[in-house]
Structure 1
Amino acid sequence: MSLRLVKRLSRDWFLLGMVCAVGLALLFPDFGKAGGAMHADVVTHVGIFAVFFLHGVGMPLAQLKAGALQWRLHVLVQSFTFLVFPALWFAFNLVAGAWVPADVSLGFLFLCAVPSTISSSVAMTGAARGNVAGAIFDASLSSLLGIFFTPLLVGLLAHTTGQSLPLGEAILKLSLLLLLPLVLGQLARPFVGAAFARYRKYTNGVDRVFILVLVYASFCDSFSSGLFSRHGGATLAMVIGGAALLLATVLTLSTLAARRWRFSTEDEIAAVFCGSKKTLASGVPMARLLFGAHPALGLIVLPLMFYHQLQLVVCSVLAERYASRPSGS
């Protein structure tokens, strides 16, 4: 791991914030649990609406149009996000599902069903000298499709873990609290878009603070129910190992697929980074909406939290390797 990457991680206040959010949930679970003094349901709904409104304001329509015609790239990325990931989970569940706790399995299913991330996919594609316009389009399209495909996939496959999801209610919730603010953000973009771009550093900070509040509330429910006292270090190791194995598999498959389709190096970079990533920024709000005050919510979002950190580390290394290639190759 390069010295530059170590320094980058040491400045990642969001990673430290997630650790602190979990620690606070362990120390003060009653404050943030459902029905607690924090009024988590109200706070999280307001936070989710605000996060997706900011996403809508920050979604660059002109750059989306620039990348819209590259259909082979879009097919590959969306297929990996919503078909290959769930297929990998299904295959794993058939082989090892009997030895994996149901809540952990549901967490990995949720991880495999959430859309790709926007900010880090685009940033790393740019750093690697890849197809930035295509990455912007695919990451943004993935977020929109996830509003419908994520609850659909979880609803269809959750029964294999012994759990179920009210599909119609879930899609309605996601549409009201995710799609509506995205649309309102796009409508507001002509009026506030310039100011948003000027203060992006601060608006991104607001986004992340809301995510940390959602992480805290999710773990409060789990700690107050005694969930983690019933799962030892073996479960934690299982989650970390499973997230690492999943990331390695998808990175390998997406690279092979891009080369099999004879993508240019720039398109390969966009395909690998957008097709292998999963969003924590959208995933945690989705989990709160889909699973509500589920006592195992903290365990359900744990695979996504570990996967998120692993993808940042590994894809940062990959971006540096891609960027070091000779110009024109």
Structure 2
Amino acid sequence: MARVQGLLVRAGFDWFLLALMGMILLAYLWPEGGLDKEPISLGDVATYGVSLIFFFYGLRLSPEKLRAGLGSWRLHLVVQASTFLLFPLLIMPLHTLFEGTSGELLWLGTFYLAALPSTVSSSVVMVSIAGGNIPAAIFNASISSLIGVFVTPLWMGLYLSAGSGDFDMGQIMLKLVLQVLLPVTLGIVLHRYWGGFAERNRKQLRFFDQGIILLIVYTSFSESFARDMFSGYSIGDLFLLGLGMIGLFFLVYSIVHVVSHLMGFGPEDRITAIFCGSKKSLVHGTVMSKVLLPDANMVGIILLPIMLYHALQLLASSVIAQSIARRAGLVTKGE
């Protein structure tokens, strides 16, 4: 049990999830704080913080490591296809079930989750514990974040452009270039100068990332609560959403596991494929919502699926990684 708890902490299942719930509660009790423009607009702070998050991400992204990871192209293809094709194609057919109902926004949030890139830190941690291909995990999680800058808005444009007159793909792409792609590129260019600084201060930068995410969650849910956007949903609806998220995780996990066997992957590559291909990034989901979603009132609802999926994927994958490690003799039963 102590081993699992330590694994959860390393993967990000710690105070941060409690803080996220705390921000939602604060937004419910005091939505005015997230809406007020004086003395300072928390929404504006979060917007500028998004660009800094991606700049620091670029600083930590070593071009040498990316080049070194190009070799296992079949493994990379499976992971990226799972992340950006399998997930959305599993969720798309369900739209007809929720179209025109109160559950349509939750479906849209689930589709947004499906269109997001893979998470970096927890994927690498789980692959490491289970004895997988760590360099390939780092490469896939990193390249997934870059691909997501372009692919996520393209997927979302299929539904947002049809349902909202405010969605302008040209405007969205311009915002992505200025707020995401340009900071990432600048960070990569400056990696040779400041990359060491970013690595040495990785923990502090992680706290900065989490602080900005908490701000985004607070301001987004403040908008939603102030506009009474949650009035049509019950506790039962959220419970069913949670069941759906854990079901989605195990469905994708199983499909990738079967595909990896059919493609003849060795044990290390199979482990990397199933963990990297079944994860989704809360960080990217939260920060990109500031750029992609035109209606601030609905952001809180749309973020619910990714927040639930994030927590459940950490719990499920940590148990699975521990089980794989035990079977491989990497840890003893008592650990």
Q: Distance in 2 between matches of 1:136 and 1:104?
A: 31
Q: Distance in 2 between matches of 1:96 and 1:230?
A: 14
Matches within 5 A, 1:72-87: 72-87=74-89
Q: Distance in 2 between matches of 1:171 and 1:195?
A: 31
Matches within 5 A, 1:169-180: 169-180=171-182
The answer to whether the 8 A contact 1:31-1:38 is kept is no
Matches within 5 A, 1:39-188: 39-95=41-97, 97=99, 101-158=103-160, 162-163=163-164, 165-188=167-190
Tell me how far 1:292 sits from its aligned partner: 4.0
The answer to whether the 8 A contact 2:42-2:215 is kept is no
CA displacement, residues 268-289 of structure 1 (integer Å, 9 cap, x when unaligned): 1111111111101111111121
CA displacement, residues 235-281 of structure 1 (integer Å, 9 cap, x when unaligned): 21232122111111111111111111111111111111111111011
| CA distance 1:323–1:34, change in 2 (3 Å) | farther
CA displacement, residues 203-260 of structure 1 (integer Å, 9 cap, x when unaligned): 2111111111111111111011111233221321232122111111111111111111
The answer to whether the 8 A contact 1:109-1:158 is kept is no
Identity of aligned residues (%): 37
Q: Distance in 2 between matches of 1:221 and 1:152?
A: 25
- State the partner residue of 2:303: 301
Partner amino acid, structure 2, of 1:185: G
Partner amino acid, structure 2, of 1:262: G
Q: Which moved more, 1:56-65 or 1:209-218?
A: 56-65
CA displacement, residues 51-80 of structure 1 (integer Å, 9 cap, x when unaligned): 111111111322222211211011111111
- State the partner residue of 2:3: 4
Runs of at least 5 residues in structure 2 that lack an aligned partner in the other structure: 331-335
The answer to whether the 8 A contact 2:136-2:272 is kept is yes
Q: Distance in 2 between matches of 1:292 and 1:98?
A: 19
The answer to whether the 8 A contact 1:81-1:115 is kept is yes
The answer to whether the 8 A contact 1:279-1:308 is kept is yes
- Pair 1:251-2:250 in alignment: no
- State the partner residue of 1:222: 224
Tell me how far 1:159 sits from its aligned partner: 6.2
CA displacement, residues 265-324 of structure 1 (integer Å, 9 cap, x when unaligned): 111111111111110111111112111442111000100000011111111112112222
Partner amino acid, structure 1, of 2:186: L
The answer to whether the 8 A contact 1:30-1:36 is kept is no
The answer to whether the 8 A contact 1:147-1:171 is kept is no
Q: TM-score, normalised by structure 2?
A: 0.90
The answer to whether the 8 A contact 1:32-1:38 is kept is no
Q: Distance in 2 between matches of 1:61 and 1:167?
A: 30
The answer to whether the 8 A contact 2:43-2:216 is kept is no
Q: TM-score, normalised by structure 1?
A: 0.92
Q: Distance in 1 between matches of 2:147 and 2:36?
A: 29
Q: Distance in 1 between matches of 2:267 and 2:256?
A: 13
| CA distance 1:249–1:99, change in 2 (3 Å) | farther
The answer to whether the 8 A contact 1:34-1:221 is kept is no
1:241 aligns to what SS in structure 2? Answer: helix
Partner amino acid, structure 1, of 2:205: T
Q: CA RMSD in A?
A: 2.1
Tell me how far 1:93 sits from its aligned partner: 2.4
Q: Distance in 2 between matches of 1:305 and 1:36?
A: 29
- State the partner residue of 1:288: 290
